[in-house]
Homo-oligomer: A and B are copies of this chain.
């Protein structure tokens, strides 16, 4: 086994989830990530913890089969024809057994890896949204645990990144197996600027100019705990405060489909207009999931300079230096200050703005980053 895989497993256990004796651990992974699953089992065995492996989040071929069949055979789920003769959307239960598993878990480790990243591209987006809605209590439970989302460099993920498999392996393990203490210190400069701030403005090119209040909401220093790789600082906007427009000029993959050039216009925090160059229907479906899906739940600043290229993978892309990302949907609990409103939704979909040129970030009227360079980096030089 490549020694970097065992190093990866050790970082997950020691740095990301702080594995302890007696911990009940869920490892969710696609079979292409088997080497990392095996390396994790060595660590879990060594520490006296208890593993179970699932492929619930990552077994996309089976999920596709399940969702398509559920969508077609809707009668069993109480779908019925509505007044205009269309079949109403399918409904899903929240599976009690899956919920019980997570409720009794201490540590949840999700390994991203796929043998085909477009596996669910022919599942009806409405069916996917309904499924995600039913999965929400399970997501809530997972987020209440010590959890980590990481990546295994499978060939299909390399292909998505337009890289050779070996090149992509180097990219992933360079980004993952690193000195997370040093990264934390670098990011702490930005936390110190954002944490006490009231208003933040993101300006890029002609099409992005948006302001939002982050007053009272803590800024989190993501240095490889919940996300591995980490490398961003992030907080939650006040749900009603977002005003302006954003062109997310970097593409994203959602439910196996590429969405490009997402444009959102905000009034009073709500998305009042939207468009996308490709797969706009998928974007529309996301925004229609629930009320919270039309508001921002996250603002993040990418600060990991070891992630030096865009790889069509949000786990990496959002950490890239010279980028800013915003997510519609659910806000993370720890980014919402006491007494502040938390945006609530079944979804959390990140989208990225390139800040490397003709761009700035302004905090309470002061520019803290211009064209990708932070003020404190100028001072560091």
Q: Which residue of B lies closest to A101 (CB)?
A: B101
A61 sits at the interface (CB 8 A):
yes
Residues of B within 8 A of A46 (CB): 69-70, 72-73, 76
Q: Are A48 and B77 in contact (CB under 8 A)?
A: yes
A144 sits at the interface (CB 8 A):
no
A197 sits at the interface (CB 8 A):
no
Q: How far is the CB of A40 from chain B (nearest CB, A)?
A: 8
A-B complex: 4 closest residue pairs judged by Cβ atoms? A48-B76, A45-B69, A31-B31, A50-B95
Q: Give Cα A51 to B68, complex, Å.
A: 14
A303 sits at the interface (CB 8 A):
no
Assess A98 versus B48: contact at CB under 8 Å? Given A41-B62, A61-B34, A76-B21. no
A interface residues, Cβ below 8 angstroms from B: 21-22, 24, 26, 31, 34, 37-39, 41-48, 50-56, 59, 61-63, 65-73, 76-77, 92-93, 95-105
Beyond known contacts A51-B62, A101-B104: 16 more, CB 8 A cutoff: A41-B62, A41-B65, A41-B69, A42-B68, A45-B70, A45-B71, A48-B70, A48-B73, A50-B95, A52-B95, A52-B101, A54-B54, A54-B55, A96-B104, A100-B104, A101-B101
Q: Give Cα A26 to B54, complex, Å.
A: 10
Q: Are A62 and B53 in contact (CB under 8 A)?
A: yes
Q: Which of A39, A70, A102 has the most CB of B within 10 A?
A: A70
Q: Are B98 and A52 in contact (CB under 8 A)?
A: yes
Q: How far is the CB of A55 from chain B (nearest CB, A)?
A: 5
Q: Give Cα A38 to B240, complex, Å.
A: 43
Q: Are A66 and B42 in contact (CB under 8 A)?
A: yes
Residues of B within 8 A of A73 (CB): 45-48
Assess A54 versus B52: contact at CB under 8 Å? Given A22-B93, A46-B69, A72-B46. yes
Assess A63 versus B48: contact at CB under 8 Å? Given A97-B24, A97-B104. no
Q: Are B65 and A39 in contact (CB under 8 A)?
A: yes
Residues of B within 8 A of A77 (CB): 21, 48
Q: Are A42 and B69 in contact (CB under 8 A)?
A: yes
Q: How many copies of this protein are present in the complex? A: 2
State the majority secondary structure of interface residues on A: helix
Q: How far is the CB of A311 from chain B (nearest CB, A)?
A: 25
Q: Give Cα A26 to B96, complex, Å.
A: 11
Q: Are B65 and A47 in contact (CB under 8 A)?
A: no
Q: Which of A38, A45, A67, A101 has the most CB of B within 10 A?
A: A45
Assess A44 versus B66: contact at CB under 8 Å? Given A50-B97, A50-B98, A104-B96. yes
Q: Are B43 and A69 in contact (CB under 8 A)?
A: yes
Residues of B within 8 A of A71 (CB): 45
Residues of B within 8 A of A66 (CB): 41-42, 44-45, 51
Q: Give Cα A280 to B199, complex, Å.
A: 74
Q: Which residue of B lies closest to A79 (CB)?
A: B48
Q: How far is the CB of A63 from chain B (nearest CB, A)?
A: 7
23 contacts between A and B (CB under 8 A): A31-B31, A34-B61, A37-B59, A38-B61, A38-B65, A39-B65, A42-B68, A45-B65, A45-B71, A46-B69, A46-B72, A46-B76, A47-B76, A50-B97, A50-B98, A51-B66, A52-B95, A52-B98, A52-B101, A53-B54, A97-B101, A100-B103, A101-B104
Q: Which residue of B lies closest to A94 (CB)?
A: B50
